[in-house]
A = this chain, B = another copy of it.
């Protein structure tokens, strides 16, 4: 039981947990200081008394609200400075008074130690760690230790600024309050921690419902508290085109729900920078050749005219296809238009990856079209999948020629399209609840993958749905996976398709449940197996309280409550 730590062990602890949790021992992070509810552990017992003398060495008292100093050997690094500002007394203590407890060493501050020569990272954006960097890219070592002058300091050793950010988050989770004396303490402890997977993401859909920018920022905040590092922004779709293109302003002028419900490129870049400050990548998705009905409002010639009546172009066929569907792969205009659009997108995004969609290309419209038939004859194509492949490969090559790396949904593979092996596939399909064969298929074909199938948070259901999310392990679920294939798994992404989600319910729908997925993707497989879900419940519950403490309206995972301040927190973050 990795969580049942005895206090004496804390001084020598080397561990790796997604969310640091000492509450099963005698110590707990602040948000979890109260007896916790219907959760299996701890068993609702009152908060323990102050430490007895023989344990006094293992904790340090926080002196006052402003006593935590933040320093780094990397001067003037905006990423670190911004983080130091975020982990403010208000975030950690809210409006609680902080007084030092007598008889304990006083905590002085936190020091970030980074290798020399990485100053340039402070001006860069986080990226997918290269295979050879994976052990260090987000790794940190956190030592809370007593110095010779008897003060206690926390030292975060990291190899990148992004690792330092993860260490800061863990540091903030180590501070706890004694429920009797109300003093704040931090554990003398050592933690060595790094993520299992380099890609731990969340997908938002701003086409079915517009998501206000402050809500996207709240999501990014909460993602950073949950050690997630990719926002996959499915920004446009059939329903609306809220991205304001400077090249083709008609796209949003005619395709956005309303002029007010759009994202200017500068706003997109502001969000990218907001994410960067938190060590989060933003991957923009512009889905083609399907999910493109919205283009028809401004550039009707982009879509394939269907022959629903068998005679006339632009006629629908009930239950089969609309009047126009799927980008027209026969026209050079399609390719030149997309090249111009993606040239602009490449300049807006800062991530090396662009998500190109490629999902749900159905053939019934193409099957009705004499133009497509002629195109197939001209190219010696006998299958519609070759038409799909024709578009797919040209589009992928074009985007690569712009210097971007393509990420796509795994549909083309399932439709038999031949793809280059440098294309990263996002696996989303399931057969009932069975998703493992799709993942195994992509791995068998040698692709790098990101798993999403078990993590569609829009499929809400009654009960502890996070358990199934938690128990979906990309490796443990594949009985025949090879060691080489394991290396092809880059991580996973939770997704919320927004038919029924918008700013009124999005944040609470995702948090804290996504924490179960974040832990699955962060913690080493050695500490996780499918039988430890009950242990995770307690951590997830603590994390929900921590999020609430920080003003995120994370919904409950079971009966109970968090802390005396929850009423006032909810009031101040509501009105």
A residues touching B (Cβ–Cβ < 8 Å)? 34, 38, 208-210, 212, 214-215, 239-240, 257-261, 458-463, 498-505, 508-509, 548, 553-561, 563-567, 570-571, 573-575
Given contacts A214-B574, A460-B462, A575-B573, contact A499 B209 (CB under 8 A): no
Residue contact A553 to B210, C-beta cutoff 8 Å: no
Residue contact B556 to A500, C-beta cutoff 8 Å: yes
Residue contact A553 to B505, C-beta cutoff 8 Å: yes
| Residue in chain B with minimal CB distance to A556 | B502
Which listed residue, B34, B239, B505, B560, touches A209 by the CB 8 Å rule?
A: B560
Q: Complex formed: what's the CA distance from A462 to B561 in Å?
A: 26
- How far, in Å, is A181 (CB) from chain B's closest CB? 18
| Residue in chain B with minimal CB distance to A238 | B559
Residue contact B502 to A555, C-beta cutoff 8 Å: yes
Which listed residue, B503, B555, B560, touches A257 by the CB 8 Å rule?
A: B560
Which listed residue, B215, B260, B261, B508, touches A508 by the CB 8 Å rule?
A: B508
- How far, in Å, is A521 (CB) from chain B's closest CB? 23
Residue contact A257 to B461, C-beta cutoff 8 Å: no
Residue contact A501 to B556, C-beta cutoff 8 Å: yes
Q: Complex formed: what's the CA distance from A503 to B574 in Å?
A: 10
Residues of B with C-beta under 8 A to A560 = 209, 239, 257
Which listed residue, B210, B567, B575, touches A561 by the CB 8 Å rule?
A: B210
Q: Complex formed: what's the CA distance from A460 to B501 in Å?
A: 14
Residues of B with C-beta under 8 A to A504 = 508, 548, 553-556, 570
| Residue in chain B with minimal CB distance to A563 | B258
> 14 A-B contacts, Cβ less than 8 Å apart?
A34-B258, A208-B559, A239-B559, A260-B564, A260-B567, A261-B566, A498-B559, A499-B558, A502-B555, A504-B508, A504-B548, A504-B570, A505-B505, A505-B509
Residues of B with C-beta under 8 A to A498 = 559
Residue contact B459 to A258, C-beta cutoff 8 Å: no
Q: Is the interface of A mostly helix, strand, loop or mixed?
A: loop
Residues of B with C-beta under 8 A to A458 = 462
Copies of this subunit: 2
Q: Complex formed: what's the CA distance from A460 to B498 in Å?
A: 16
Residues of B with C-beta under 8 A to A210 = 561, 566-567
Given contacts A209-B560, A461-B462, contact A505 B502 (CB under 8 A): no
| Residue in chain B with minimal CB distance to A260 | B564
Q: Complex formed: what's the CA distance from A412 to B348 in Å?
A: 66
Residue contact A557 to B500, C-beta cutoff 8 Å: yes
Which listed residue, B208, B259, B462, B564, touches A500 by the CB 8 Å rule?
A: B462
Residues of B with C-beta under 8 A to A38 = 239
- How far, in Å, is A226 (CB) from chain B's closest CB? 16
- How far, in Å, is A501 (CB) from chain B's closest CB? 7
Interface centre among A212, A259, A554, A565 (most CB of B within 10 A): A212
Residue contact A558 to B500, C-beta cutoff 8 Å: yes
Residues of B with C-beta under 8 A to A509 = 505
Q: Complex formed: what's the CA distance from A279 to B482 in Å?
A: 67
Residue contact A209 to B261, C-beta cutoff 8 Å: no
Residues of B with C-beta under 8 A to A564 = 258-261
Q: Complex formed: what's the CA distance from A103 to B459 in Å?
A: 52
| Residue in chain B with minimal CB distance to A464 | B500
Given contacts A461-B460, A462-B459, A462-B500, contact A556 B260 (CB under 8 A): no
Which listed residue, B34, B209, B556, touches A556 by the CB 8 Å rule?
A: B209
Residues of B with C-beta under 8 A to A565 = 260
Given contacts A560-B209, A574-B573, contact A505 B508 (CB under 8 A): yes
Q: Complex formed: what's the CA distance from A260 to B565 in Å?
A: 8
Residues of B with C-beta under 8 A to A554 = 504
- How far, in Å, is A564 (CB) from chain B's closest CB? 4
Q: Complex formed: what's the CA distance from A274 to B561 in Å?
A: 26
- How far, in Å, is A415 (CB) from chain B's closest CB? 26
Residue contact B505 to A555, C-beta cutoff 8 Å: yes
Residue contact A209 to B559, C-beta cutoff 8 Å: yes
Q: Complex formed: what's the CA distance from A477 to B298 in Å?
A: 48
Q: Complex formed: what's the CA distance from A574 to B257 in Å?
A: 22
Residue contact A258 to B500, C-beta cutoff 8 Å: no
Q: Complex formed: what's the CA distance from A240 to B504 in Å?
A: 28
Residue contact A570 to B212, C-beta cutoff 8 Å: yes
Q: Complex formed: what's the CA distance from A188 to B517 in Å?
A: 56
Q: Complex formed: what's the CA distance from A322 to B553 in Å?
A: 34
Residues of B with C-beta under 8 A to A209 = 556, 559-561
Q: Complex formed: what's the CA distance from A38 to B208 in Å?
A: 10
Residues of B with C-beta under 8 A to A566 = 210, 260-261
- How far, in Å, is A258 (CB) from chain B's closest CB? 5
Top 10 A-B pairs, shortest CB-CB distance = A504-B553, A257-B561, A260-B564, A505-B508, A505-B555, A208-B559, A459-B462, A504-B508, A504-B555, A239-B559
